[in-house]
Chain A
Amino acid sequence: MKIREIAEILGATIEVQGDSLDLEVDAAFGSDLMSDVMAYAKDNVLLLTGLVSPQVIRTAEMMDIKTVVLVRGKKPDHCMIQLAEEKGITLLSTKDTMFVSCGKLYSTGLTGKGVRE
């Protein structure tokens, strides 16, 4: 699924465009703990989080995650925006909760297969 389709499904605003909205992801991982992202997420996942911190972008960078969705209406701060722009990471913001965001994406075809069992 393309990032622009994900943004549409979640009614998300695009806070930072990143490298491309046409990138494809087929799996997602939701967590507010960045160490868990590094412990469980594998290749080419979308990250959903309620955490606003530059460390979210750092974690995405280390994990080669190209798109981050902030849930529960969280907005990125200046540091996060600056770092995402620098790293070419797309940053979206949705008013949906974590549960609802994950449910919407799961029901339209994203899976959890990019995650360590």
Chain B
Amino acid sequence: MSGIIRLHFELPGNDLMSAGEASSSVKKKLNQLGINPAAVKKAAIAMYEAEINAIIHAGGGTLAVTITKDRINIVISDHGPGIADLDLAMQEGYSTAPDYIREMGFGAGMGLPNIKRNADRLEIKSAVGQGTTVEITVFF
């Protein structure tokens, strides 16, 4: 591929049914571009978990994707409550999600660890009361 592809999505916070649509569109795009399947899966899992997080914890946000020849960069931003203790949040099993989220199959404290496992580069910026930005990079 040549050039840079940029995609932008709004993540509606009140629509749990549509959660994952943005990640689905990006995955489809990566497959169309012929990116190797292992990298596509890593990006898809990390992106989907981050999308779910923004919807669960922050009432939605935005997802911005940049695809170049050798990588995908995904930035998910929200204006939610922020993460008070990032080290704790990165631990498997730690969760602040309410029960109704568990009924969707999430909220067991595996989201951030899953993102970390699948991202080649991960940067999380968060401030309590202001919001969280998660930047995920996966190399092809």
- With A53-B105, A55-B20 in contact, do A63 and B110 touch (Cβ < 8 Å)? no
Residues of B within 8 A of A63 (CB): 41, 45
Q: Give A55-80 as 1s and 0s: 1 = Cβ < 8 Å from B's Cβ atoms.
A: 11011011110000000000000010
Q: Using a CB-CB cutoff of 8 Å, which residues 19-33 of chain B contact chain A?
A: 19-20, 23-24, 27
Q: How far is the CB of A35 from chain B (nearest CB, A)?
A: 4
Categorize the interface residue count of chain B: 20 to 34
- Count, A-B residue pairs, CB within 8 A: 67
Categorize the interface residue count of chain A: 20 to 34
B45–A33 touching, CB < 8 Å: no
Residues of B within 8 A of A32 (CB): 105
Residues of B within 8 A of A51 (CB): 103-105
Residues of A within 8 A of B103 (CB): 51, 53
B105–A55 touching, CB < 8 Å: yes
Q: Give B70-95 as 1s and 0s: 1 = Cβ < 8 Å from A's Cβ atoms.
A: 00000000000000000000000000
Residue of A38, A49, A58 touching B114 (CB-CB under 8 A): A38
User: Is B44 located at the chain interface by the 8 A CB criterion?
Assistant: yes
- With A38-B114, A39-B117, A55-B19 in contact, do A62 and B108 touch (Cβ < 8 Å)? no
Mark B residues whose CB is within 8 Å of A.
Answer: 16-17, 19-20, 23-24, 27, 37, 41, 44-45, 48-49, 52, 103-106, 108, 110-111, 113-114, 117
Mark A residues whose CB is within 8 Å of B.
Answer: 32-39, 49, 51, 53-56, 58-59, 61-64, 79
